[in-house]
Amino acid sequence: MEAADPVKPSAVTLQPVTTEPPVQTAPGSDPGQVQIRAMEEQDADFIARIMADAFEEKIVYAVGESRVEGTIQMIANGLRRSPHVWHRNYVASYEGNLAGLLAIKFHDSTLEDIGLCDTCSHVGCWGTCRITCMSLAFLNMGGPQAGECLVDTVGVSADYRGKGIGKALLDRADFEARERGCSTIFLWVKTTNRAVHLYERQGYAISQTVDGYCITQCAVGNGDWYKMEK
């Protein structure tokens, strides 16, 4: 009986393995305690109050403490009239409760429709002049150019501070800036603001120091600012 021929191993062709880079999801979009989404019309009042809280000292200086509530209503009404800005305003919720705000701007961002008549009805003629001066002062400090993203406002409700919401919002700003192809993201902050340390932990560095900026000094009572970027 003849021996069977040995079985020859078949050739194995190795195919190149391609690995796709992991798809990054927007911070705050995955399940968890902190959720972040673009604002909707019903968020206007909450956002206005967070903005007023974040800029309380400046608003009081500009229009007086008695007109703070009117300023909040003015901001809320302006947001309701401005759906074209909702996509760049983000609200954070913590365990289902509204807790924080992020507002960003790009070089082609349009402004909210504040409405002079509505402003006047809430803060009076003199208050309207002061609010206008405050807005112009911040615009004059320098907005984003092409390829840049400005973190305009980051604020967290007092009841939810210390829970990582501010960091999550800044992470979301980074994500949105990358999605728009921005190479630089920056913000303006008072030199005495404790949030400077939070921004440094997030990778921001002071790129410019403005001492005695007379326009903002007159408008909001402070002329010393850091420009921080990364």
* % residues pLDDT > 90 (the chain): 65
**Quick one: pLDDT at residue 98?**
98
pLDDT value of position 10? 54
Of 12-21, 117-126, 145-154, 207-216, the one with minimum mean pLDDT is 12-21
Give the mean pLDDT of the chain. Answer: 89
Name every residue whose Cβ is closer than 8 Å to that of residue 174 and which is 6 or more positions away in sequence.
27, 185
Q: What does the pLDDT read at residue 135?
A: 82
pLDDT at 215: 73
Residue 138 confidence class, pLDDT cut points 50, 70, 90: confident
Contact between 128 and 120 under an 8 Å Cβ cutoff? The reply is yes
Lowest-pLDDT range of 35-39, 53-57, 131-135, 144-148: 131-135
What is the number of alpha carbons within 13 Å of residue 31 lying toward its C-beta? 0
Q: Residue 204: what pLDDT?
A: 98
Q: What are 6-61's pLDDT values in tens digits?
A: 555 555 555 555 566 566 799 999 999 999 999 999 999 999 999 999 989 888 98
Cα angle 39-41-43, degrees, rounded to a multiple of 5: 60
Pairing of strands 205-210, 184-190: unpaired
CA 38 – CA 90 distance, rounded (Å): 4
Report which of residues 6 and 68 the model is more confident about: 68
pLDDT in tens, 168-197: 999 999 999 999 999 999 999 999 998 999
pLDDT of residue 139: 76
